[in-house]
Structure 1
Amino acid sequence: MGGMATPLEVVVSADAGSQLWNLTVFDLHSGSSLLSYRGGNSAARSLTVLRGEFLLSAQLGKNYINVWEIQRKDQLQQKIVCPGMVTCLTASPDGVFLAAGVGEALHLWEVSTGKLLCVLSRHYQDITCIKFTDDGSHFVSGGKDNLALVWNLWGVIQLDTSQTPEPRHVLSRHSLPITDLHCGCMGAQARVATASLDQTVKVWELSSGELLLSVLFDVEIMSVTCDPCEYFLFCGGSDGNIFQLSLCSQSLLRERSFQSDSEGNQVLKGHGNMVTCLSVSMDGTLLLSGSHDETVRVWDIQSKQSIRCLAHKGPVTNAVIMPAPANMFLPDSRPAVPLLRFSRHLHTTEDEGGEAGEVCVRPALHAQKEEETYLQKAEHLYTLMTAVTDRSVCGDGESTKVHVAELKEEVQILKKVNRELYEFSSQLLTKPT
């Protein structure tokens, strides 16, 4: 790095034409190339970072996922083989789960064990994009079947395997394939934007599935994102234009056509071909766009000017601004936990222990600190309180005795509750399926 300070945010991008490397890392502010990761080419909407330690991307047109340790850019670490061509890929924000579209089926793995937890087959055609909410409680999948589906993560993985998981909401107002989607902030209260070949971008309320806004453009929309404050939506057109849509405008019409005006609806012109990916910096000042014109551009949102153009070797498939993982620039660092082999089949016989078809999700290995049980906490509290009251010199000690008796009783109740819980869960786990 030559004495340079590690950048806070970097640009990671990939194109379909490069022979020498797959992913390139650029400095967001200077545009200089910092690193490149070798091996293969990445499919669109499939670049993801796992726990800040691994970079993953689906191999273009193939049935496997490429994995790099984030500081070892010279070689691929492993390939995760999937049952079919991977159409999109993302990790949950905490790195506990990995979700991939394999044709029209959504595959969800537990990262710490490599176990395939479920396969969701509710789309009728290929899935084009998957995004998690920022709190990891939900994820949304969009497909060529014109549908976007909202899934509750825990509802999906804790299901009895005889039941078919149902999406929490089916967002079905698009009339042509969904090309991209964006999940805003605020967890389960987030707003979701979907872009489609039907020339509209629609904004939905995740919790209710209600359509809040539908904006019609005069071209197909290939990509969509939002700034962190959700003042603007940025929509990438098939004609190379980027449309900035104000979400704070005075118009109360739920359905409207895009018009550039003084209210913040603007067109950013510069790309010569469809805009396939969009991303905004953490402070909301810079927009990144990738295009089939073989360039990635950095835009100053305030002035609407393109301030940098990064040349690529082919149509750009992925371009994202991300916080620079600490290990990216530390050549000697190693992932805290290696990635295990990912299973290709649900609940195979090789699963150690456990009944067939039983899902047991452990916390991610990096989050496995010894947690006190509720009972241990209660006993701990009890000893603390008695220690204090024993030393207490107030009154005749009578109130202390009463207090201790009450606490002892409380601990007995907790023990009983704990025993009942234990028996109940034992019955549940040993119940014949």
Structure 2
Amino acid sequence: MDESVFYIAEGAPGDKHSQESFAAAASSHSSQQHASFRQADAPLNGAVLTGTGQGERLIAASKGKALLTVWSWGKEGSDQKIPVPEEMKCLASCGQPDLGQTSSSHTVPSFRVPWLLAAGSKSGKLYVWELASGNLLCVKDAHYQEIATIEFSRCGTYLVTAGHDARCMVWKTLDLISAYTKDEHATKPYYSITDNTLPVMTVQLSLAGLANDLRLYTGSRDGTVRIYDVATRTLVTTFVLNHPVESLAVDPASRAIYAGLNNGLVRTIELYKVQNSVLEPVGGNKKIVTVDHDPELKHTFVHHQQRMAGGADAPVAVTQVKMSFDATNIISGDSLGRVFASNVVTRQVVKAFAPCNSPISRIYVDTCPVESVNASLGSTKNDKKHRLIPQLKRVLVSNDPIEHLLYLEIPNGEDEDEDFEAWLAKKSEEELEFRNLSTINTTVKEVPRAGEVGELQEKLEKVAQAYEELRGKHAELIEEHTKLLSE
């Protein structure tokens, strides 16, 4: 196993060197580079990586254009350019829904695209597409100004949007996709947050597997980091910092928050502290906690700050912060195009990635098998299962389920472990089971032979005789009981 770090920059369309912009995926533990994407740039939070390995895709919004660009993993050049209704500022994807079945009649291929693609526009509209068909499922005026970031919960139940209008909205995914709901007007936000006074630039959702234990973390340019309980729709804690917050990363075990500030610092906000030899949580019950100044730099990462010739600090903002899989490192990118991996205990840089020539707009950290990322290391194997993403529709799909098309990938018999004839036989059996609308089992059985009929008849007579004897005994007992009661 290896840990892959993907990062992409905003690009500089006015720069003559803008064609040199690129996105890359590299190992955080070695010097190995997993993949690279030429002429790839995206606005802040405006890129989506479906995964690492052959068949996966990078989808990025174009800066200043109503266009989405798609790259395939292991291929440097772009595959598709998809027009959209307007300029998009941020993207998020939701994977195929987990039905909770222990055994499935089919296997979802690894190359399949995610289920939903959500996009936030410059005008504040929220768009949701189904990628397998390209159908436009939702268009919603979610914010008054530009949407800054979009995030799906890990379970796919909720979608969170935040924007420059200082609002944060929590939506239920099933309420947004009208193709699957009977009520066309069920698109009101599940939870509307208006506690901030300046743009909300980043949101993070906890990795809880249960929707009733979900926490929402927001970071705003008003210098606050807030924690909300999504199930109860209540504010838990407010942390106040000295500088505007541009990005957030949350420890997987909810032990700390790492806030990227606009002055080049990454500040650690501890969620638990030791008080009188007892580990106690910080905040709660809508408390406001002021994050103290850290002159000794015990809770601050300073490697993004850069000194100018006169000794003053150069204007640097930490635009992206992510956690490694084991929560021992943070991966952060800044407005100068630099990406670092730093240890959370020593606060020292353990690796510096190849820099970009513009601000970092998106970082993804994922674990992957080593063999799955070798497509970019000289391998010329053709991906026969690769499919292009359908063109995204501009008109809302009908909410009649009968008119909604479903796409299923069937095996083609090229692989040794795939038997097309067996698959057809299995589907035929499932069709017969589906058509049997009654509770009668219509399975045909062989008729017993003559000797077996005699044995079964003899057994039936014995059972009938025993039943008659038991019934007689029961009648006698009732008669005796009646006599006793009369006496």
Q: How far 1:220 sits from its partner (Å)? A: 0.3
Residue pair 1:115, 1:343 contacting (<8 A) in 2 also: yes
Q: Secondary structure at the match of 2:322?
A: strand
Give 1:302 deviation, angstroms.
2.4
Kindly report which structure 2 residues correspond to 1:9-48, keeping only aligned pairs within 5 A, or say none: 9-15=3-9, 16-17=11-12, 19-48=19-48
CA distance in 2, matches of 1:185, 1:367: 33
Deviation at 1:40, TM superposition (A): 4.0
Post-superposition shift, 1:49? 2.2
Secondary structure class of the residue paired with 2:263: coil
CA distance in 2, matches of 1:373, 1:248: 56
**Inter-partner Cα distance in structure 2 for 1:210 and 1:113:** 37
Which residue of the partner structure matches residue 56 of structure 1?
A: 59
| Aligned-pair CA distance for 1:380 | 12
**Aligned-residue offset at 1:190:** 1.4
Which secondary structure state, in structure 1, belongs to the residue aligned with residue 174 of structure 2? helix
1:344 partner SS: coil
Structure 1 gap ranges (5+): 1-6, 348-355, 401-433
What amino acid is aligned across from residue 78 of structure 1 in structure 2? Q
Q: Equivalents in 2 of 1:397, 1:291: separation in Å?
A: 85
The residue number in structure 1 matching 2:121 is 102
Q: For residue 329 of structure 1, report the CA deviation from its aligned partner.
A: 2.8
Residue-by-residue CA offset, 1:221-269 (whole Å, 9 max, x unaligned): 00011122121111100001001111223333621111267xx981111
2:324 to 281, 289, 295: 281
Equivalent position amino acid for 2:195 in 1: R
- Distance in 1, matches of 2:251 and 2:440, equals 49
1:386 and 1:397 map into 2 onto residues whose CA distance is 23
Task: Name the residue aligned to 1:225.
Answer: 249
| Percent identity between the two aligned chains | 22
1:323 counterpart = 2:325: no
Whole-angstrom CA distance in 2 between matches of 1:300 and 1:364: 45
1:230–1:160 distance in 2 versus 1, CA, 3 Å: same
Q: TM-score, normalised by structure 2?
A: 0.70
Of stretches 312-321 and 111-120 in structure 1, the one that deviates more from structure 2 is 312-321
Give 2:138's match in structure 1, choosing from 96, 102, 118: 118
Q: How many residues align?
A: 380
CA distance in 2, matches of 1:136, 1:367: 25
| CA–CA distance in structure 1, aligned partners of residues 239 and 26 of structure 2 | 33
When normalised by structure 1's length, the TM-score is 0.78
Mapped partners of 1:271, 1:82: distance in 2: 36
| Residue of structure 2 aligned with 1:341, choices 383, 387, 391 | 391
1:44-97 superposed Cα distances (whole Å, 9 cap, x missing partner):
112212365211111223221110122222x11101211111110011033100
| 8 A Cα contact 2:341 2:350, kept in partner | yes
Alignment correspondent of 2:263:
239
Contact 1:182 1:192 in 2 (8 A): yes
1:358 aligns with 2:400: yes
User: Over aligned residue pairs, what C-alpha RMSD do you find?
Assistant: 3.5
Distance 1:396 1:365, change over 3 A: same
Does the 8 A contact of 2:320 with 2:334 survive in 1?
yes
How far is the alpha carbon of 1:363 from its aligned partner? 6.0
SS at match of 2:176: helix
Task: Give the SS at the match of 1:19.
Answer: helix
CA distance in 2, matches of 1:378, 1:357: 28
Q: 1:71 to 1:34 in 2, by over 3 A?
A: closer
321-330 or 104-113: which moved more?
Answer: 321-330
Shift of 1:289: 0.2
On the 8 A contact 1:336/1:366 being kept in 2, the answer is no
- Partner of 1:82 in structure 2? 84
Change (3 A) 1:328 1:65: farther
Asked if the contact 1:232–1:245 (Cα under 8 Å) also holds between the matched residues in 2, the reply is yes
Structure 1 residue identity aligned to 2:388: P
Report how far residue 301 of structure 1 moved.
1.4
- The question of whether the paired residues in 2 share the 8 Å contact of 1:202 and 1:212 is answered with yes
CA distance in 2, matches of 1:139, 1:218: 29
**Cα gap change, 1:357 to 1:235, in 2 (>3 Å):** same
Of the three residues 170, 176, 196, the one matched with 2:198 is: 176
Q: What is the Cα deviation at residue 160 of structure 1?
A: 4.8
- 2:286 corresponds to 1:258: no
Distance 2:228 2:435 in 1: 42
From the superposition, tell whether residues 321 and 50 of structure 1 become closer, same or farther in structure 2 (CA, over 3 Å): closer
Q: Deviations over 1:197-224 (max 9, x none)?
A: 1100111112222111110000000001
Per-residue deviation at 1:32?
4.2
Within the alignment, does 1:293 sit opposite 2:296 as a pair?
no
Report which stretch shifted further, 366-375 or 51-60. Answer: 366-375
Residues 367 and 156 (structure 1 numbering): CA distance in 2 closer, same or farther, change over 3 Å? farther
* Structure of greater Rg: 2
* Paired letter, 1:289: S
1:214 to 224, 238, 243: 238
Matching of residues 351-390 of structure 1 within 5 Å: 356-358=398-400, 365=408, 372=430, 376=434
Q: C-alpha displacement at 1:161, in angstroms?
A: 6.9
Q: Label 1:173 to 1:291 Cα distance change in 2 as closer, same or farther (>3 A).
A: same
- Structure 1 residue 378, shift from structure 2 partner: 9.2
Pair 63,334 (structure 1): closer, same or farther in 2 beyond 3 Å: farther
Q: How many Å separate the matches in 2 of 1:84 and 1:361?
A: 25
Q: CA deviation at 1:175?
A: 1.2
CA distance in 1, matches of 2:6, 2:291: 30
Distance 1:381 1:278 in 2: 57
Pair 1:383–1:260, CA change in 2 (3 A): farther
The answer as to whether partners of 1:259 and 1:265 remain within 8 angstroms in 2 is no
Alignment check: 8 A CA contact 1:279 1:320 kept: yes
Q: Distance in 2 between matches of 1:304 and 1:384?
A: 70
Distance in 2, matches of 1:324 and 1:291, equals: 25
1:297-321: CA deviations, max 9, x gaps? 1011122212122222222222221
Contact 2:320 2:363 in 1 (8 A): yes
Cα deviations across residues 135-189 of structure 1 (Å, max 9, x unaligned)?
Answer: 1111111111111111111122134575261011112211111101111112423
C-alpha contact (below 8 Å) 1:43/1:60 kept by paired residues: yes
